[in-house]
Amino acid sequence: MENNRKKILIIDDSEELRTTLSAFLSAGGFNVAAVPDGDKGLELLWRWKPDLVILDLRMPGKAGWEVMRDIRANPDTEDIPVILLTAVRDEQSKVMGFRSGADDYLEKPFQALELVARIDRILETRGKLSARAQRARAVENIPVRIGEKITFVGREHIFYIKAAGKYTYIHTSGERFLSDCSLKEIEEGMLGREDFFRVHRSYLVNLNKIAGVTKESPGKYIVELGDDNHTMIYVSQRRLLKFKEILHLHF
């Protein structure tokens, strides 16, 4: 029945792609709608509430990553999964998409069967996990630079993050990577507040990587991390009470 078919919204300025992809997905059992630009896409999105959005990254007018931000900023649509389509092969464009909350991406040209496989995977995963848990999975990788190349570091490998102006340094056990993201952006928009805590205005620490805490003097605590360098970081006075509460410290 029509009401049981998953709804897919395509937002792409290519008429040929919209026509071809709509026909292919419809034949595959999806209920499909397609529009040529971001503004029309958002207008239909608010009314139709699709199960998944396929979004072109580069379009006239509102760019794909801007559409992504609008989707994620609205409580009624923030959990709708989005797959980005892009003809742009630079890593920065992909990072912008992931920063804005994309669940996956495909480079043009692509195989329609691969797109369907990715749609099925996302929708199946969404059925097993809560929407918010799935979004948390999408931001577990932090974009970092290695020379001119952009790659990703998984949050489970991060010991601490240090502010460097408007950038940050991501520290794993034995390596340091430069990230274009600010400390606030990483703390609030990517990692969340479950496992990471800002012990100092310039340091964000993975609570799971703490090897020990030393009380140097009244009101002066030092965190020791379990990385190769046994990094020591002071806990600022204004964050000390919350820090002790989180770790259940009584000394």
Q: What is the pLDDT of residue 142?
A: 76
Question: Quick one: which of 50, 18, 17 has its CA closest to 31?
Answer: 50
User: Cα–Cα distance between 164 and 32 in angstroms, integer?
Assistant: 46
Encode the chain (251 residues) as per-residue pLDDT tens digits.
Answer: 455 789 999 999 999 899 888 888 887 789 999 999 999 999 999 999 999 999 998 888 888 888 988 998 888 898 899 999 887 665 666 666 677 778 888 888 888 878 888 898 898 887 754 444 444 444 566 778 887 777 778 888 999 999 998 889 999 999 999 987 788 877 766 565 578 899 999 999 999 999 999 999 888 999 999 999 999 999 999 999 999 988 888 78
CATH 2.40.50.1020 in the chain: give the residue spans: 144-247
Q: What is the pLDDT of residue 149?
A: 74
- Domain at 144-247, CATH homologous superfamily: LytTr DNA-binding domain (2.40.50.1020)
Long-range contacts of 65-68 (CB under 8 A, 24+ apart): 65/93, 65/96, 65/97, 65/99, 65/100, 66/38, 66/100, 67/11, 67/38, 67/41, 67/42, 68/97, 68/100, 68/101, 68/102
Give Cα 8 to chain centroid, integer Å. 21
Topology, domain 2-138: Rossmann fold (3.40.50)
Question: Quick one: which of 175, 176, 244, 236 has its CA closest to 210?
Answer: 244
User: Cα–Cα distance between 239 and 20 in angstroms, integer?
Assistant: 56
Token output for 239: 């964050």
CATH 3.40.50.2300 in the chain: give the residue spans: 2-138
Q: What is the pLDDT of residue 138?
A: 40
Burial of 222 (0-12, 13-18, 19+ CB in 10 A): middle
Token output for 226: 């379990």
User: Cα–Cα distance between 235 and 198 in angstroms, integer?
Assistant: 9
- Stated pTM of the model: 0.52
